[in-house]
A = this chain, B = another copy of it.
Amino acid sequence: MFRKKRAKQKPDATAKQLMGIVGEENVLYLKGDLLSYECDGYTLERGIPRAVVFVRNTQHVSDVVKQLNELEIPYIARGAGTGLSGGATPRGGEVIISLVRMKRLLDLDLENRQAVVEPGYINLKLTQSISDKGYYYAPDPSSQYACTIGGNVAENSGGAHCLKYGVTTNHILGLEVVLPSGEIIEIGNSGVPDQPGYDLLGILTGSEGTLGIVTKITVNILKNPEGKKTGLAYFDDIDDASQAVSDIIATGIIPAALEMMDEIAIEGVEASAYPVGHPSDIAAFLLIEVDGIQEGIDDQIEDILTVCKSNHVRDVKVAKDEAERSMWWANRKMGFGAMGAISPDYLVQDGVIPRTRLPEVLAHISAISRKYELRIANIFHAGDGNLHPLILFDASVPGESDRASKAGSECLQVCADVGGSITGEHGVGIEKSAEMRFIFTDEEMAAQTDIRHVFNPDDLLNPGKLFPEPGRCVEVKRDEKKVSV
């Protein structure tokens, strides 16, 4: 009965035109189908798209974009939809261009340490497909089993190992991009680290789908390190853990990862599918990994644990084998999701601060928690100064969602006030465009929105993201005559 009712809904003129380009089977237009696309991993704002079109190749993307330009219909590129700031969330009425069916590994050149993938190729699959040959792809967001490399490029995704190995932008060698004009351009070049001219590779990477649609990606792949050592350090006082982080960095050793969790976060992961038996009464732990050539890494992890000992650590241990190491990492990577085990709802925030300001910022976050009467767990890529306050709330209690949202924004204000940033790796998206004001002046914002206007003059590509819009929160004014092209 329900099926029959749905079957009656006819594609509108737009959907039909899109079908003309990509084929009937590659366009969704039924209301029920569209509901799955009303948000990404950030669920506090939602909108229903007009249609979803699954492109199969670059020409499809170009043709669809040109068609939508003609119709003046806005559009959004989407990968796996694991983003955490609403970068792929419609405001309502946009066409979603889904890249998930462009998912091939196009080329693998081990000699030059490069791979070419389509944007819908899943992050983890790349490492899986080359690990037997001794290689891996470095950026490892916690969602790497699901997220696409195209999405990683859009968000300039990081991960636990970006302290040593950098974020996505440090691993992208070239892009094929469909511009909002429908033109197809190549940026970057095989085997050449730095191209002349302006760094378009850098500006496209992390542009959150507002400058172009990436259709091909050349990435750098790395040789597996010869050895790895992973340690845990338990602290009774989170300030001691914070000081240990600064002291570790000061030794000159760059750990492959240096992660921290506070007691509420630990409560969560211990209640998750991957408990490891962390003590329940500690204030924080550090999860530390070093890698590199075999000689020396035992000394490195020992040196780091010695630094922990000089900061009143309660206990330290080193993973005895790969199984234990994997368990520790599975537990850590459950971090966000694990909050579901101890709270009906949670809001992930993503701020960055100078590492040395950690104790002070934690005290502020504690005060915010008391002010809004909401528990806040803290998970950090501590080595990078990237904190993820997880604000726990119950959306069914009137007013709690709103309080959570305000508490999140205040956490970001604290980060901005100490000279930090409002996002480390999750992006600005639809969620934090107003908070861009915390860190940018009018002139600084204008320098950026001017760039968007050049690439995306009619603002049809992913409108309403990344920057505050006229009428939304703060108006970005710009004398149009002044910037002539």
Residues of A that sit less than 8 Å from B by CB = 111-113, 134, 156, 158, 167, 169-170, 179, 181, 183-187, 189-200, 202-203, 205-207, 211, 223-226, 246, 249-253, 292-296, 299-300, 352-357, 384-385, 419-425, 427-428, 432, 436, 439-441, 443-444, 447-448, 450-455, 457, 466-467, 478, 480, 482-485
Q: B residues within 8 A CB of A192?
A: 352-354, 385, 419-421, 424
In the complex the two chains form, what is the Cα distance from A184 to B446 in whole Å?
A: 12
Q: Which of A191, A202, A352, A432 has the most CB of B within 10 A?
A: A191
In the complex the two chains form, what is the Cα distance from A463 to B451 in whole Å?
A: 20
In the complex the two chains form, what is the Cα distance from A194 to B199 in whole Å?
A: 15
Asked if B191 contacts A385 (CB within 8 A), the reply is: yes
Asked if B485 contacts A457 (CB within 8 A), the reply is: yes
Kindly provide the distance from the CB of A361 to the nearest chain B CB, expressed in whole angstroms: 11
Say whether, besides A111-B356, A450-B485, A444 and B205 are in contact (CB < 8 Å).
no
Q: B residues within 8 A CB of A480?
A: 485
Kindly report which residue of chain B lies nearest to residue A197, judged by CB atoms: B448
In the complex the two chains form, what is the Cα distance from A356 to B190 in whole Å?
A: 11
Asked if B428 contacts A485 (CB within 8 A), the reply is: no
- Can you report 7 residue pairs joining A to B where beta carbons are below 8 Å apart? A111-B250, A190-B354, A200-B448, A202-B202, A223-B252, A225-B252, A454-B483
Kindly provide the distance from the CB of A465 to the nearest chain B CB, expressed in whole angstroms: 11
- Contact partner, A206, options B194, B357, B427, Cβ 8 Å: B194
Copies in the complex: 2
- Contact partner, A197, options B191, B199, B436, B482, Cβ 8 Å: B436
Nearest first, the 10 closest Cβ-Cβ pairs linking A and B are: A191-B354, A202-B202, A223-B252, A295-B296, A199-B202, A296-B296, A192-B421, A450-B454, A183-B443, A453-B485
In the complex the two chains form, what is the Cα distance from A184 to B7 in whole Å?
A: 59
Asked if A356 contacts B112 (CB within 8 A), the reply is: yes
Kindly report which residue of chain B lies nearest to residue A458, judged by CB atoms: B484
Asked if A196 contacts B423 (CB within 8 A), the reply is: yes
Kindly report which residue of chain B lies nearest to residue A110, judged by CB atoms: B250
Q: B residues within 8 A CB of A385?
A: 191-192
Say whether, besides A354-B191, A356-B111, A441-B185, A196 and B457 are in contact (CB < 8 Å).
no
- Contact partner, A167, options B194, B198, B440, Cβ 8 Å: B194
In the complex the two chains form, what is the Cα distance from A253 to B427 in whole Å?
A: 34
Asked if A196 contacts B419 (CB within 8 A), the reply is: no
Asked if B453 contacts A200 (CB within 8 A), the reply is: no
In the complex the two chains form, what is the Cα distance from A231 to B206 in whole Å?
A: 40
Q: B residues within 8 A CB of A181?
A: 482
Asked if B421 contacts A195 (CB within 8 A), the reply is: yes
Q: B residues within 8 A CB of A440?
A: 197
Kindly provide the distance from the CB of A250 to the nearest chain B CB, expressed in whole angstroms: 7
In the complex the two chains form, what is the Cα distance from A222 to B422 in whole Å?
A: 26
- Contact partner, A193, options B111, B384, B447, B448, Cβ 8 Å: B384
Kindly provide the distance from the CB of A370 to the nearest chain B CB, expressed in whole angstroms: 27
Asked if B484 contacts A457 (CB within 8 A), the reply is: yes
- Contact partner, A451, options B198, B384, B422, Cβ 8 Å: B198
Q: B residues within 8 A CB of A352?
A: 191-194
In the complex the two chains form, what is the Cα distance from A195 to B436 in whole Å?
A: 10
In the complex the two chains form, what is the Cα distance from A248 to B18 in whole Å?
A: 51
Q: B residues within 8 A CB of A253?
A: 293
In the complex the two chains form, what is the Cα distance from A323 to B198 in whole Å?
A: 40
- Contact partner, A112, options B158, B170, B355, Cβ 8 Å: B355
Kindly report which residue of chain B lies nearest to residue A444, judged by CB atoms: B185
Asked if A199 contacts B444 (CB within 8 A), the reply is: no
Asked if A200 contacts B447 (CB within 8 A), the reply is: yes
Kindly report which residue of chain B lies nearest to residue A427, judged by CB atoms: B196
In the complex the two chains form, what is the Cα distance from A423 to B196 in whole Å?
A: 6
Asked if A189 contacts B439 (CB within 8 A), the reply is: yes
Asked if A485 contacts B195 (CB within 8 A), the reply is: no
Asked if A447 contacts B185 (CB within 8 A), the reply is: yes
Kindly provide the distance from the CB of A36 to the nearest chain B CB, expressed in whole angstroms: 27
